[in-house]
Amino acid sequence: DQQVKQNSPSLSVQEGRISILNCDYTNSMFDYFLWYKKYPAEGPTFLISISSIKDKNEDGRFTVFLNKSAKHLSLHIVPSQPGDSAVYFCAATSGANNLFFGTGTRLTVIP
């Protein structure tokens, strides 16, 4: 049972435009959410996180939005750069439990 879902396997965006990656979850106990970025032949690297007490967290070009009532979060990248091309995973957790990951979205930023 996939508790964290990323329904878009891929996304293509023009350089300079906004990239929006979406993630849905089913477990209402999740209270902490993270985004990881993964390049080929490398392990995932942490990008940004958000606690359930917030609805927005911003770090430079990256902003994560959380809509608890819809059990939905999104990652906005503005402006998108070719170096952002990677697979993005969202993850969720509660308490001291392990992370539950989504299936990933492959972002391609076209120069």
Partner 1 sequence: KAGVTQTPRYLIKTRGQQVTLSCSPISGHRSVSWYQQTPGQGLQFLFEYFSETQRNKGNFPGRFSGRQFSNSRSEMNVSTLELGDSALYLCASSWAPGGRMNTEAFFGQGTRLTVV
What track of x and - describes contact with partner 1 for positions 31 through 60 (by CB under 8 A)? -x-x------xxxxxx--x-----------
Strands of 1-111 (E only): list them: 4-5, 10-14, 19-25, 32-38, 45-51, 56-59, 62-67, 72-77, 86-93, 100-101, 105-110
For 83, list phi and psi in degrees, rounded to 5: -70, -10
88 binds partner 1 (CB under 8 A): no
What track of x and - describes contact with partner 1 for positions 2 through 21 (by CB under 8 A)? x-x-x---------------
65 binds partner 1 (CB under 8 A): no
70 binds partner 1 (CB under 8 A): no
